[in-house]
Structure 1
């Protein structure tokens, strides 16, 4: 299954692959050159298909858990001052996605969207400390039944040039549902209440809508 945001790119790549293979088969006489061109086009097509894959993940919503919003590696776990919306300290958990990861963003919790804003910006590498505040990004806040408000931020990376965000203020969302997409390399930051019990460690590999990021608790361990 492929994400709808990749349909045009996939169709274009498939068309170009067919054109290249047929053209080289007819007009390129050197066997080695023809094979190289055809294989290169096929590799490009496979990479595009791989990037826009959208594996189906069944989720039973759990109000006591915050699930990973994306696939990737945990690169930040720290207490920070969240300056855009909460303007107070929060627990930040950041997940970095390489171009090989699934780039679908999924809702980390069920609840009501209370804030959704797009910010144009730079394209610093996703792990740069200033990428969270200076890169192209979206900020979304979900009011959940048990955690109160949680915030997630889609952040474009050096390769990304477009963030897709489906969250609209006032909308009721369900944990695990498709929340958007980030094209070609990115990062997602989660900002959680200070009393959340973090369930992952630095450098852990997580799966969107599968891995528990945090639970309710008195303090972090």
Structure 2
């Protein structure tokens, strides 16, 4: 699996690098004893590597039967799995599966199902901790509605958090959704919710770790017309 830097992080990494150079050169020129700028440099290098790690963008391929498969959109930990009423788009009871991303996870977002993008909508909101249940309906968020290849609707929601205040959504209405492709990106830790039909077969539980674009989290039932 090859890893590269995500395009969303290139400008940030350049700016951070320039700031680090200025700070560390100044420290070495004006601060004594040498142990102080040395410590500064070590801390700066560790911080920069963490930022690089955050913006890594692994090339992934799903292997296996894709028929009716739902994959995790992100790397992270399952923090919620429950039946809820989705009031903004679907307006019906569905099964919500939420995955929380820490700052150490890959933050690229993959399409959860193969199909067609029907709608993309941005919702303004607050910046509560993304780990909280009410973040799904109160935080800044971006919603993508997809018609899966079997005709059922699957909704994916990118949610900003207390630190992550930058949601990038690449999907547009009419796009072909493919589980191997990036749907978006969330900067600096957050959460993604997937809303599934109630009769979807779910394979994960709270506390499970997922890998975006790879981990099978559910399977949709056959469409009545199949």
Superposed pair shares fold, TM > 0.5: yes
Q: Give the TM-score normalised by structure 2.
A: 0.92
Instruction: Name the structure 2 match of 1:83.
Output: 87
> Unpaired segments of 5 or more residues in structure 1?
none
Report the equivalent of 2:219: 215
1:107 matched to 2:92? The reply is no
Question: 1:162 and 2:171 equivalent?
Answer: no
Please name the residue that 1:126 is paired with.
130
The answer on whether the counterparts of 2:68 and 2:221 sit within 8 Å (CA) in structure 1 is: no
Unmatched tracts of structure 2, length 5 or more: none
Matching residue of 2:67: 63
Matched, 1:4 2:7: yes
**2:203 corresponds to:** 199
Q: State the alpha-carbon separation in 2 of the partners of residues 120 and 167 from structure 1.
A: 18
Alpha-carbon separation, structure 2, partners of 1:213 and 1:187 = 16
| Larger CA deviation: 70-79 vs 124-133 | 124-133
User: Distance between the aligned counterparts of 2:151 and 2:78, measured in 1?
Assistant: 21
1:13 to 16, 21, 43: 16
Partners in 2 of 1:147 and 1:204 — Cα distance?
28
Q: Is the 8 A contact 1:20 1:41 kept in 2?
A: no
Per the alignment, residue 43 of structure 2 pairs with 40
Kept after mapping to 1: 8 A contact 2:28/2:34:
no
What displacement does 1:164 show?
0.3
- Tell me, yes or no, if structure 1 residue 148 matches structure 2 residue 166: no
Q: 1: distance between equivalents of 2:67 and 2:174?
A: 19
Distance 1:122 1:38 in 2: 36
Q: Distance in 1 between matches of 2:149 and 2:46?
A: 46
Q: Given the two structures, how large is their TM-score scaled by the length of structure 1? A: 0.94
Q: Hey, what's the Cα distance between the residues in 2 that align with 1:149 and 1:217?
A: 12
Name the CA distance, whole Å, in 2 between partners of 1:28 and 1:129: 47
Instruction: Measure, in 1, the Cα distance between the counterparts of 2:68 and 2:153.
Output: 13
Please tell me whether the aligned partners of residues 85 and 91 of structure 2 are also in contact (alpha carbons under 8 angstroms): yes
Question: How far apart are the structure 1 equivalents of 2:214 and 2:116?
Answer: 21
CA RMSD of the aligned region, Å? 1.5
The superposition leaves residues 32-61 of structure 1 with CA deviations (integer Å, 9 ceiling, x where unpaired) of 111121112112211110111111112357
Q: CA deviation at 1:144?
A: 0.8
Which residue of the other structure, out of 138, 143, 168, is the alignment partner of 1:139? 143
